[in-house]
Amino acid sequence: MYAVHQDLFGETDLKFSGELNDNIDVLFLCLGHGESKKFLEQNKIADNIKIIDLANDFRLTLQSEIGKRKFIYGLPELNVEKIKSAQNIANPGCFATAIQLGLLPLAKAGLLNDVYTTGITGSTGAGQSLSTSSHFSWRANNIQAYKTLTHQHLGEIGESLLQLQPGSDIDLSFVPWRGDFTRGIFVSSTLRCDMELSELYPLFENFYTGHPFTHVSRDPIFLKQVVNTNKAVIQLEKAGSKLVVHSAIDNLLKGASGQAVQNMNLLFGLEETAGLILKANYF
């Protein structure tokens, strides 16, 4: 394994295998979007093997089943009890995770209306395939909006918000950005809200009680607090009747592989934080 991931040199003698093996407990699918469904159609996976898919193939309700397998949307802060009893997990998208964590408490309280969200991600986000915009020479001293109002994570966000605030006409407008840094996502969501911060902060803190990775800060948050961790940090600001919810995560951990491990821990009854107590790359 360390021949591929050289940072593991001296840590393990495990080796990668190119063969499917029925003697495993869990299968992580880390394929491009649309490829997981093809893989499961083309390969017989034993029914007792749990699957955690990191692509977007099974995140939406109408696409959550393939054969006898039904996938549960794996955002622990939303579906922790369903995850514990599930067989298959659809791991959320990175932007979807950051945006939802900033909005779920408001949805639970029935406070969402029109939401305007901007979010910036590093060069390890904004697409899997190599492109001009993924090169550091392009990224340096540069910024660009992409997939304006059409990002693929909007569908899963919408379903989650309606799960907590059913029957509502929530209009979410999202503009994602490519940033001049390697990893992390910082999101700011703006909406109208008449409640004061003194009421809103307890609302958020109570919602995330018992969720070990999501923290509500009353001080300004920043990206280096979460990079290299499975944490999400949230901060609120108000000006008049306008509320801004800031949220930050590491797109590769809480937005992808870290959350997948978190879901695995829940699936197998392990400590939810097992293997995920990581220190931020602050300096």
- For residue 143, being part of any structural domain is answered with yes
Whether 128 shows a pLDDT value over 60: the answer reads: no
If you average pLDDT over residues 114-130, what whole number do you get? Answer: 84
Residue 161 lies in a domain: yes
Evaluate whether residue 276 is within a structural domain: no
Q: What is the CATH number of the domain that holds 87?
A: 3.40.50.720
pLDDT for residue 15: 85
pLDDT tens digits along 222-268:
999 999 999 999 999 999 999 999 999 999 999 999 999 999 999 99
**Where residue 127 falls among pLDDT bands split at 50, 70, 90?**
low
Instruction: Find the domain containing 188 and state its range.
Output: 94-249
Q: How far from chain centre, in Å, is Cα 72?
A: 14
CATH of the domain at 168: 3.30.360.10
Per the structure, the count of domains in the chain is 2
- 14 and 38 part of one domain: yes
Say if residue 217 is in the same domain as residue 132.
Answer: yes
Catalytic residue set = 94
- 76 within some domain: yes
Please compute the mean of the pLDDT values over residues 214-220 and round it to a whole number.
98
Which one, of 187, 192, 210, lies nearest residue 272 by Cα?
210
Has residue 99 been placed in a domain?
A: yes
Query: Mean of the pLDDT values across residues 51-64?
Result: 96
77 falls within a domain: yes
What's the mean pLDDT when you consider all of the chain? 94
Note whether 146 and 164 are same-domain residues: yes
164 phi and psi, to 5 degrees? Answer: -95, -25
Residue 111 has pLDDT above 90, yes or no: yes
Asked if residue 178 and residue 43 are part of one domain, the reply reads: no
Q: Are residues 61 and 161 in the same domain?
A: no
Residues 134, 44 share a domain = no
Residue 282 maps to a domain: no
User: Based on the domain organization, do 194 and 103 belong to the same domain?
Assistant: yes
Is 166 in the same domain as 243? yes
| pLDDT 10s digits, 59-109 | 999 999 999 999 999 999 999 999 999 999 999 999 999 999 999 999 999
Task: Tell me, rounded to whole angstroms, the distance of Cα 177 from its chain centroid.
Answer: 17
278 lies in some domain: no
Query: What is the spatial distance between Cα 172 and Cα 104, in angstroms, rounded to a whole number?
Result: 13
- Name the token pair of 217: 């800060």
Nearest alpha-carbon partner for 96 in 280, 263, 251: 251
The edge-to-edge listing of strands for the beta sheet with 114-121 is: 144-145, 171-178, 114-121, 185-192, 242-249, 232-239, 214-217
Phi, psi for residue 29 in degrees, rounded to 5: -100, 110
**Model confidence pLDDT, tens digit, residues 154-184:** 999 999 999 999 998 899 999 999 999 999 9
